[in-house]
Chains A and B, each alone.
Chain A
Amino acid sequence: MSTAITDAATVTRVPVTGKEKRLLRHAMMPHMLCPGCGHGIILDAMLSVLSERYDNLDNVAFVAGIGCSSRIIGYIDACTLHTTHGRPLSFATGLKLARPELTVIVITGDGDGLSIGGNHLIHAARRNIDLTCVLLNNEIYGMTGGQAAPTTVLGAYTTTTPQGNTQHSFDAAELAKAAGATFVARAQSYRPQVFGEVFGQALDHVGFSFIEVMSDCTEYFGRTNRFGGGADMLMSQARYEPSIDADLARRPTVEPIADAQPVRPVLPTGLLYRSSRLTLEETMGIKGARSSEVNETGQYSTDQGRDA
């Protein structure tokens, strides 16, 4: 079922319809992302998906924390809530419980969602609250100047790891799955089409859906580790992703390549895990919430991504 999104050869580019432009908050432009940053690609892909579904985003709320990733919600013409560092999921939980009819999308980063906000991530997943969380992982703290993040791989250079990172990194997707997320996917800024596909599925999924997006930070992660510019970093995502069917439990590690720089070897991407259970709204008996029964109508089944 999910083979289409797994085959790199079939993925070319996001169709440019121009529809997504009307969902932008033009008054907020110009944006603050660096040249070569992958976050804008994901913003564009996200709006493309939403523009196929909605004429406007009156009933979609974006909630984000602090960091480069979180700033992208400011460019979306919706109700956008730019919260405190690490806490967007807590704000989103309150908003969703008070207004279950709204589509709530949380944008977070690897520092925001896995370090300072790690507790909120695992509890949102545990509760299976019906919202979508997109975590843009650029493997570094970009906004504060390139410090090591909990996703920075072992050995990588950052401004706080001048001799190379000595801490192991998180596998965000594995963490979300273990904590109880009922939809887990991983995408890359290199293949916005894959992101678009899993993002659409995540919106349809009733329950806590989590997408980790491997993005790139050219200014800090790329420069410090001599990965080249934005295009080089995107190409590195392509080179080291031969299959999405690899073991989800496999952690990103550093393996030396020809030029002896640390890189991620293989990261499974695409839909990684899917299951169905009652959402927080259902267990609380909140009126106006979606029913998780649709998850089980045959449209979805558990672990398809891994069987593909």
Chain B
Amino acid sequence: MRLIQGNEACAEGAIAAGCRFFAGYPISPSSEIAEAMARLLPKHGGVFLQAEDEMASLGAVLGASLGGARAMTATSGPGFSLMQEHIGYAYLAEIPCVVVDVMRGGPSTGLPTLPSQGDVMQAQWGSHGDRAAVALAPSSVQEVYDLTIQAFGLAESLRTPVTVLFDEVVGHMREGVELNSPDPRSIGSRPRPTQPPGASFEPYRANEALVAPLPDFGRGYRFHVTGLMHDERGFPTTDTSIVAALLERLEKKVQVVTELVEPESYLMDDANLVIVSYGITGRTAKAAVDVLRSKGVKAGLWRPRLLWPVQDGLLKEALAKAEAVVVVEMNRGQWAREVERVAHNDALLHPLLKAGGAVITTEEVIDHALEVADGLPAAASRRVPLAEAVSWTEGKNQARMVVPASTTAKIGATEVDIEKKVGGE
């Protein structure tokens, strides 16, 4: 066991998964990943490149990946924004890669050294066009290690970009980690063509798993890779039926991920108050569940490790018996929208949201959950619409996050509740 930082664990996981190429650009709070890769890669015969910007970083990663290397880049919000075009490119051209985003407060330059979970929607929708993203969300340093390994497995076997999404706290937190040698199955492998090189080889003809076998550049298979819509030969096309089929295949291809990444279910069997949370707030919420149980509240935690694609079936199952659902996240309500979509019952939802750079504490989750539990089963009348949801705990952070008076006024029916919360703390 070693005591290391989340960012270092990410680099260790990448090396363990066979990553041999890293390109990156300095940015807080992810820079330690690049620093660790610069130290580790030469020892493993790999290449570290400090690129001129984030677009070049991911571009180089994709070039190296086509050459046959397992490749990764790491960044944070502003850099993740710049990478979006190449993430879309990797998705359409089906080039395996791992992109790590250590989230900080945004938008814009925002809060370079404070945590946030504000890039969750960006991880799915940041690139233009229809795209089925794959994004993993570790909540501990150990999980950063394990899920970085799994990210490579998924990226390689599915020929798609995979994002590992955690926040500044997980990135900089130090914990004991078992740097286990990964199970070869979790590392995955790139599907390779079985037919020999020749004119009949089609680089985008998918196998039964909807993945097209990918040879390396320079091994005898001569083929074309483009970000234009293409046919199975890889040649550009505007044939609308071919394009529609391609988009459908790419989306279906990654759905298998929902069966490969386990969510954490904690005390969910008899829970009527279900907390849904991921990443660092998932841990805060877990501690809160224990306290809530001691106070007689039947609380449980459902913590996805996979944010995209959403595990609709598992989430629906988790919410089946819930009388109240508390989504806890460090943003103004991003993944809560997905929970709302799957729950299909606004009356259940009591999000605890907090943006501004402060972490959500266990006490805040407990207070909020107790309030919700008090009102059961009449909780529905106390609901705050998601679109207008304001952190219940803002009163504690007046200095950091001021709620304009007009915000409470607009909320109307729930005005009294909000005022009581903000004013009473």
Q: A: which residues have CB within 8 A of B?
A: 25, 27-28, 56-59, 61, 63, 73-74, 77-84, 87, 89-99, 101-102, 119-120, 123, 284-286
Task: Say whether B63 contacts A80, CB under 8 Å.
Answer: no
9 closest A-B pairs by beta carbon, nearest first, are A90-B59, A94-B63, A94-B60, A98-B67, A95-B63, A94-B64, A91-B63, A90-B56, A98-B64
- In the complex, what residues of B have CB within 8 A of residue A74's CB? 224, 226, 235-236
Q: Does B266 contact A (CB under 8 A)?
A: no
In this complex, the interface size class of chain B, counting residues with CB under 8 Å from chain A, is 35 or more
In the complex, 13 of the A-B residue pairs with CB atoms within 8 angstroms, ordered by the A residue number, are A58-B222, A91-B63, A93-B63, A94-B61, A95-B67, A97-B47, A98-B47, A98-B67, A98-B68, A99-B218, A120-B56, A123-B52, A123-B56
Provided the pairs A95-B217, A123-B56 are in contact, do residues A77 and B222 lie with their beta carbons within 8 angstroms?
yes
Given contacts A79-B218, A87-B56, A119-B52, A97 and B64 within 8 Å (CB-CB): yes
By the criterion CB–CB under 8 Å, are B227 and A83 in contact? yes
Q: A60's closest neighbor in chain B, by CB?
A: B218
Residues of A near B390 (CB, < 8 A) are: none
- CB within 8 Å for A82 and B47 given contacts A93-B56, A119-B53: no
Q: How far is the CA of A119 from the CA of B89 in the complex (A)?
A: 20
CB distance B218 to A91 under 8 Å?
no
Cβ of B62 under 8 Å from chain A: yes
Assuming A81-B63, A83-B89, A120-B56, is B71 touching A94 (CB within 8 A)? yes
Q: Which residues of A contact B61 (CB under 8 A)?
A: 94
From A25, A77, A84, A286, contact of B86 by CB (8 A)? A84
Complex: A95 Cα to B218 Cα, angstroms: 10
Q: CA of A89 to CA of B59 in the docked complex: distance in angstroms?
A: 8
Which residues of chain A come closer than 8 Å to B49, judged between CB atoms?
93-94, 97
Q: Flag whether B228 is at the interface (Cβ < 8 A).
A: yes
B47 contacts A93, CB within 8 Å? no
Least Cβ–Cβ distance between A286 and chain B, in angstroms: 7
Contact call A286/B225, Cβ cutoff below 8 A: no
A83 to B35 Cα, complex, angstroms: 28
Q: Is B315 an interface residue (CB 8 A)?
A: no
Tell me whether B271 is interfacial, beta carbon within 8 Å: no
A84 CA / B227 CA spacing, docked (Å): 7
Interface pair A81/B67, CB less than 8 Å apart: no
A257 and B229 CA atoms in complex are apart in Å by 45
* Chain B residues numbered 214-237 whose CB sits less than 8 Å from any CB in chain A: 216-228, 233, 235-236
